[in-house]
Structure 1
Amino acid sequence: MNSDFPYSGGSVHWHLGPVIDALRTSRETTHNIRHQRRVRELPSREVLRQVVDGVSAALFPTHYGRPDLNDESIDFFVGDTLTVALDRLVEQVRRALRFTPQGEELGEPELAERARAITRDFAASLPDIRGLLVSDVQAALAGDPAATSVAEIMLCYPGTIAILYHRLAHRLYRLGVPFLARLIADIGHSLTGIDIHPAASIGASFFIDHGTGVVIGETAVIGERVRLYQAVTLGAKRFPVDPNGALVKGTPRHPIVEDDVVIYAGATILGRITVGAGSTIGGNVWLTQSVPPGSNVSQAQMRNTE
């Protein structure tokens, strides 16, 4: 063993030489789990957290950036913060593209240019994303009698943070970097206890009250002005398989929730069913069949119909 190895003393004490050699063999040959058995570069969760923090500060400078900004300094702050965030993002996009079918075929110059194009498109979408997020905050202010101000909602409500992460992740998903979007979604999940797949489509004025334990699956479609409470699941009822028994991925298997629906705490809604516009789904309901617009579904009603 090389005496310059930083842990050589410990390696001698613990007889780690054979262990390190065996781990290398496992890593490089026997149990190689790298993408295509070769990709070593991975996106960084820490850098992505910095990117989301920077983009959030650019979207809402005094809430997520610096509270002492004024009319003279705010645009400079937004420009500088966004430049740093996008410079970090483009490298993460480049790394994530290696995990897409298209990226596997690109050379380094083409990969770098594709990453820059995606990052430019992402930046161009930020005003629209901000508009959606403002509608979400306004829905929370209108829908929660305990909410006293926009600032309270943006700084204290986990649902607001979860939706912010989702709006950013969803845009990156649509731009063709699903791995990166999934990482951002998981960071948001870790922060809030709210698990939203980045592919899920969510309309404006979305409000998650309390939030802990909410799960929204990959192919879920949620309309406008929808409100969810804690521990709601919009999940799959079953997982189709191909003739070889392997899971068929990407098929629509999660609910469609139309406009102006309220779903109370603990409700579980499974399968590609439709919850009609203006419906109310009561707490702890287990729903696996579509309901028409204007329905009012309670746990007692479900027991009577089964």
Structure 2
Amino acid sequence: MTEERAAIIAKIKEQKKNPNLKLKLKEKTEYFTNLLFYTLFDTDTVVAKNVNLLENTFEELVDLACWEIEKPCSKIWQSYLECLPTILTKLNRDAQAFMKNDPAANSIEEVYMAYPGFYAIAIYRLSHQLLKFGLPLVPRLMTEYAHRLSGTDIHPGATIGDSFFIDHATGIVIGETVIIKDHVNMYQGVTLGGLYVDRKLRNTKRHPTIENNVTIYANATILGGDTVIGTNSIIGGNTWITSSVPENSIISNTSEIKIKKAL
């Protein structure tokens, strides 16, 4: 090795200041996420066999992700496993919401296999439970994996109720402290975010609440922790909302569109 190359390598090592930044954790999390999806939905997957494989993979994730030895990460698996039937029940209700709301859905199998919105919801629900149990980093890596595949960015800390329907999915952002209640329909490009970004807002309710039976159309932006969209409301496309909306409201963008006949 030349002195010049040795100097370059030494400088790189000097700048690698994060001893726990192991990219293997990201790759292993993606593998774990795929295993979960196959275990819950694939007809040909043997559940008992995959559960054992999931447990072994989870142990590897614990070794990579739990840097603080005193945290009982290894005790999470059994509790998480016991939650999987309940999570699957919720996801089946989500899939039925897709069938109910989307006339383009030709079969329930199509929803499970071809709808990016359903995939994003599935990985959100699976990661959300792990976050509640206190497993570090892995839940966020799971939803970022789903984000990359689906175009839908759902933070695992969000709270989402039953029968959630996302149509087209691309460009949706759902922040960490969002609360979405039951039977909500959402279209592409919707943002449920904060009014501004400030580290001081950490651990505060900074994203909106969406009550039951709300429909939010494409590219609507709803911001703020005190913002509540009331039950049975319809939020029109391209709207910008930073204050609460009463129940049974219809919010629309009133921009004027002019059409001229070509000569």
Question: Under a length normalisation based on structure 1, what TM-score does the superposition of the two structures give?
Answer: 0.79
- Do 2:182 and 2:211's aligned partners in 1 also have CA atoms closer than 8 Å? yes
State the alpha-carbon separation in 2 of the partners of residues 165 and 48 from structure 1.
12
Match of 1:238 in 2: 196
The answer for unaligned runs of 5 or more in structure 2 is: 256-263
Matching of residue 287 in structure 1 with residue 245 in structure 2? no
4+ residue stretches of structure 1 with deviation over 3 A?
Answer: 38-43
Report the identity percentage: 38
Which structure has the larger Rg over C-alpha atoms? 1
Q: 1:45 aligns with which of 9, 15, 26?
A: 26
Question: Within 2, Cα distance between the matches of 1:47 and 1:237?
Answer: 35
Distance 1:116 1:264 in 2: 42
Aligned length: 254
C-alpha deviations, 1:87-136, integer Å up to 9, x for none? 101221343222xxxxx362xxxx5xx23311111111000000010010
1:86 to 55, 75, 88: 55
| Distance in structure 2 (CA, Å) of the matches to 1:277 and 1:40 | 44
**Equivalent residue, structure 1, for 2:12:** 23
Greater helix proportion: 1
Distance 1:227 1:94 in 2: 39
Identify which of 208, 225, 233 aligns with 1:255.
208
Equivalent position to 1:148, from 106, 119, 123: 106
Secondary structure, counterpart of 2:55 in structure 1: helix
1:203-222 alignment, distance < 5 Å: 203-222=161-180
Relative to structure 1, is the Cα distance of residues 200 and 178 closer, same or farther in structure 2, using a 3 angstrom cutoff? Answer: farther
Say which SS state the counterpart of residue 16 (structure 1) adopts: helix
1:52 Cα deviation from its structure 2 partner: 1.4
- Describe the shift of the 1:203–1:24 C-alpha distance in structure 2 as closer, same or farther (beyond 3 A): same
Amino acid at match of 1:86: E
Among 51, 54, 65, the residue aligned to 2:35: 54
Helix, strand or coil at the partner of 2:56: helix
Give the residue type in structure 1 aligned to 2:9.
Answer: I
Are the structure 2 counterparts of residues 128 and 300 from structure 1 closer, same or farther at C-alpha, using a change threshold of 3 Å? Answer: same
SS at match of 1:139: helix
CA contact (8 A) 2:25 2:65 kept: no
Kindly indicate whether the alpha-carbon contact (under 8 Å) linking 2:117 and 2:169 is maintained by their aligned counterparts in 1: yes
| Separation in 2, partners of 1:42, 1:173 | 20
Distance in 2 between the 1:226 and 1:43 partners? 37
Greater RCO, 1 or 2 (C-alpha within 8 Å, sep 6+): 2
Closer, same or farther: CA 229–40 of 1 in aligned 2, 3 Å: closer
Secondary structure at 1:132 match in 2 = helix
Backbone CA RMSD of aligned residues: 1.8
**Residue 47 of structure 1: how far off its partner (Å):** 1.4
Q: CA deviation at 1:271?
A: 0.4
Q: Which residue of 1 aligns with 2:152?
A: 194
